[in-house]
């Protein structure tokens, strides 16, 4: 397998993207109407439970969602219709739930039978106590859990269906536009010919003679050129220089993988993580602060969040047309999360690690040769440089690619231009004073600090 650079694909994507965006504008309004329906239904249902499901949803997301889902076991049990379920199956009333939510540990200690059984069922993971929630708050939450689930699967399916047809029509209309353009162009040509003919007729009618046979005595241009030796010489020189320049340019890019965007074993979208969800780069790439490696996060870091984020729900308005064109549906992303679970050995059913892991073999994108030493900590912690300076708009990258050329010239140039972050750093205090006096400048560049010396990177 060899690396391939995706420049052309990129351009095609940008073009397609802009077209799709236009169609997006048309489709959004239809979704909005669809979504309104379940909301209304929920409100109706909540009315008989004495709680406000809308407030409840908010509270649920703030307090409960880290460990509970409505229709699915997580760290704790699924909570859809929990009140009814408890009343019917265990004969426990709302009061039991109030005290459980406010102080579960107390109930376990007090020896409540169901409290203990549920505690043991979920690996003795103690539930956080929520003494701050009032009974009314809990009512709201219960109202939310009691609301009939808005059949997410069905909606998603219809959404997908809509989208599919949407993107399909997008394709057709694309051709239609081109077709229309072609027709218009053809019409123009026909009109031009017609006009031309008419004009000629008029001219003939008026007795104007058209010059047609003027060029016969002239020497053809190419012959004249071949006879002029100086011109030939100059052309050859220019041609040689140009091809030498071309060859040099071509050879210079050998081994430079700018734009390299390999397919990874798990489709990890920086756009979703760093862009949409605004997760700090160094939350996952934590060793960039202290080590020469930025580090590919170990899978347990992924699981910090993905223990509870087991499916991709995407934007509230659903996947964009562009995503859909690429096949990035919600199911697609959810499937990628499943790949993560498989790799890390997470048993989703029972919410525990199986211990059977399959380390992920990521394809390395940024690859400096062995003879060049690069230290992330130097640039991130000491130099306070944004990750994006070298890695580009990662938060917009659906597929991670190498943004910078990573050539020595590129490094050197940055060292020449970048100012050293001397402020509040005790290390630089003395050297900054002395050097700024020596060079007569207030700000020092990395180069002035010796950042261009061979041995700083090559040893």
Partner 1 sequence: MASNKKYWKSEAELNPNDSIVETLKGNEFVEHIPVDDFLGDKENLADSSTTRRDFLKYVGFSTAAATMAACEGPVRKSVPYVIQPENIVPGVANYYATTIADGYDFASILVKTREGRPILIKNNDRASVLGGANARINASVLSLYDKKRVQGPMANGEAIEWNVLDATVKAKLAGLQNSGKQVALLTQTYASPSTKKLIGEFSEKFGNVTHVTYDAISEDAALSAFEASYGERALADYDFSKADLIVSFAADFLGDWNGGGYDSSYAKGRIPKNGKMSRHIHLEANMSLTGANADTRMPMKPSQIKTALAKLYGKLNGSTVGGGSSDIDGAVDALATEIRKAGRKAVVVCGLNDLDAQTVTLAINTLLQSEAFDVERPRYVRQGHSASVNTLIANMKAGRIGALLIDGVNPAYTLPNASDFLEGLGSVDLSVYFAFNNDETANAVTHVAAASHYLESWGDAELKKGHLSLQQPVIRELFDTRQFQSCLLNWMGSEVAYHDYVKENWTTSFLNGGNWNKALQDGIYKMSDSSESESVEEAVQSSEEESATEEMTVASLSSSLRSLTSVSDAGMELALYSKVGMGDGKQANNPWLQEFPDPITRVSWDNYITVSKADAEELELENYNVANGGLDGSYANITVDGTTLERVPVIIQPGQAKGTVGLSFGYGREAGMQQEMATGVNAYALYKDFNDVQSVSVSKAEGIHEFACIQLHNTLMGRGDIIKETTLNEFNTEDPHVWNPVPEVSLDHQEVPATTVDLWESFDRSIGHHFNMSIDLNACTGCGACVIACHAENNVPVVGKNEIRLSRDMHWLRIDRYYSSEDTFGADVEEKDAAEEGYKNTMLDLENPATNPQVAFQPVMCQHCNHAPCETVCPVAATAHSRQGHNHMAYNRCVGTRYCANNCPYKVRRFNWFLYNNNDEFDYYMNNDLGKMVLNPDVNVRSRGVMEKCSWCIQMTQKTILDAKKEGREVKDGEFQTACSSACSSGAIVFGDVNDKESKVAKLKKDDRMYHLLEHVGTQPNVFYHVKVRNTNEA
- Which member of 174, 435, 445, 447 binds partner 1 (CB under 8 A)? 435
Q: Closer to partner 1 by CB, 153 or 363: give it.
A: 363
Q: For residues 212 and 201, what is the distance between their CA atoms, to the nearest angstrom?
A: 16
Helix (H, G, I), strand (E, B) or coil at 5: strand
Q: Closer to partner 1 by CB, 162 or 419: give it.
A: 419
With binding defined as CB under 8 A, does residue 369 bind partner 1?
Answer: yes
Q: Count the Cβ atoms, other than its own, within 10 Å of residue 128.
A: 13
Q: Closer to partner 1 by CB, 352 or 438: give it.
A: 438
With binding defined as CB under 8 A, does residue 16 bind partner 1?
Answer: no
With binding defined as CB under 8 A, does residue 381 bind partner 1?
Answer: yes
Among positions 386-425, residues that touch partner 1 (CB under 8 A) are 424-425
With binding defined as CB under 8 A, does residue 267 bind partner 1?
Answer: no
With binding defined as CB under 8 A, does residue 278 bind partner 1?
Answer: no
Q: Count the Cβ atoms, other than its own, within 10 Å of residue 182.
A: 10
Q: For residues 10 and 4, what is the distance between their CA atoms, to the nearest angstrom?
A: 12
Of 83-91, 133-141, 169-177, 449-457, which part binds partner 1 (CB under 8 A)?
449-457
Q: Closer to partner 1 by CB, 221 or 263: give it.
A: 263
Helix (H, G, I), strand (E, B) or coil at 100: helix
With binding defined as CB under 8 A, does residue 456 bind partner 1?
Answer: yes
Of 100-108, 135-143, 235-243, 354-362, which part binds partner 1 (CB under 8 A)?
354-362
- Which member of 367, 368, 386, 417 binds partner 1 (CB under 8 A)? 367
With binding defined as CB under 8 A, does residue 248 bind partner 1?
Answer: no
With binding defined as CB under 8 A, does residue 301 bind partner 1?
Answer: yes
Spatial neighbors of 195 by CB under 8 A, at least 6 apart, are: none
What DSSP string describes 110-129?
Answer: HT-HHHHHHHHHTTT-PPPP
Q: For residues 457 and 459, what is the distance between their CA atoms, to the nearest angstrom?
A: 6
Q: For residues 137 and 9, what is the distance between their CA atoms, to the nearest angstrom?
A: 52
Number of residues that bind partner 1 (CB under 8 A): 59
With binding defined as CB under 8 A, does residue 375 bind partner 1?
Answer: yes
| Residues facing 353 on adjacent strands | 346
Of 17-25, 35-43, 96-104, 358-366, which part binds partner 1 (CB under 8 A)?
358-366
What DSSP string describes 262-331?
Answer: PPPSS---HIIIIIIS---HHHHSGGGGTSS---PPPHHHHHHHHTT--S----TT-S-HHHHHHT--HH
With binding defined as CB under 8 A, does residue 1 bind partner 1?
Answer: yes
Enter the tokens of residue 277. 């969800």
* Residues of this chain that bind partner 1 (CB under 8 A): 1-3, 254-255, 257, 262, 287, 290-293, 295-301, 343-345, 357, 359-364, 367, 369-373, 375, 377-378, 381-382, 424-431, 434-435, 438, 449-450, 453-456, 458-459
């Amino acid at each position: 397998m060899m690396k391939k650079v995706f420049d052309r694909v990129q351009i095609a994507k940008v073009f397609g993207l802009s077209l799709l965006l236009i169609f997006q504008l048309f489709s959004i309004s239809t979704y909005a109407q669809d979504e309104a329906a379940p909301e209304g239904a929920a409100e109706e249902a909540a009315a008989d439970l004495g709680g406000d499901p809308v407030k409840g949803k908010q509270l649920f997301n703030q307090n409960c969602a880290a460990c509970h889902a409505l229709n699915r076991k997580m760290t704790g049990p699924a909570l859809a219709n929990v009140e009814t379920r408890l009343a019917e199956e265990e004969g426990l009333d709302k009061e039991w739930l109030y005290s459980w939510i406010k102080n579960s540990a107390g109930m376990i200690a007090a020896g409540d039978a169901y409290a203990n059984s549920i505690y043991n069922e979920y690996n003795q993971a103690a539930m956080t106590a929520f003494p701050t929630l009032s009974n009314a708050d809990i009512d709201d939450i219960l109202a939310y859990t009691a609301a009939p689930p808005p059949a997410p699967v069905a909606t998603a399916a219809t959404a997908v269906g809509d989208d599919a047809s949407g993107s399909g029509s997008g394709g057709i209309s694309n051709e239609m536009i081109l077709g229309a353009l072609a027709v218009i162009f053809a019409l123009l040509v026909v009109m031009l010919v017609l006009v031309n003919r008419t004009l000629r007729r008029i001219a003939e009618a008026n007795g104007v003679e058209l010059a047609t046979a003027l060029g016969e005595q002239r020497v053809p241009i190419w012959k004249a050129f071949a006879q002029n030796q100086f011109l030939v010489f100059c052309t050859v020189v220019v041609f040689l220089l140009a091809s030498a320049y071309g060859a040099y340019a071509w050879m210079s890019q050998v081994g430079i993988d700018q734009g390299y965007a390999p397919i990874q074993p798990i489709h990890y979208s920086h756009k979703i993580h760093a862009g949409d969800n605004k997760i700090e780069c160094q939350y996952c790439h934590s060793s960039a602060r202290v080590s020469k490696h930025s580090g590919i996060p170990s899978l347990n870091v992924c699981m910090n969040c993905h223990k509870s984020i087991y499916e991709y729900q995407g934007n509230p308005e659903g996947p964009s047309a562009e995503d859909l064109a690429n096949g990035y549906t919600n199911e697609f992303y959810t499937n990628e999360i499943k790949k993560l679970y498989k790799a890390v050995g997470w048993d989703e059913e029972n919410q525990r690690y199986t211990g059977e892991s399959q380390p992920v073999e990521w394809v390395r994108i940024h690859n400096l040769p062995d003879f060049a030493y690069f230290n992330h900590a130097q640039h991130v912690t000491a130099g306070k440089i944004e990750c994006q300076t070298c890695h580009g708009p990662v938060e917009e990258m659906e597929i991670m690619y190498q943004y910078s050329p990573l050539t020595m010239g590129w490094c050197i140039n940055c060292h020449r231009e970048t100012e050293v972050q001397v402020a509040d750093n005790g290390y630089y205090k003395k050297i900054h004073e002395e050097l700024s006096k020596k060079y007569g400048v207030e700000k020092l560049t990395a180069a002035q600090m010796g950042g261009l010396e061979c041995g700083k990177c090559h040893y």
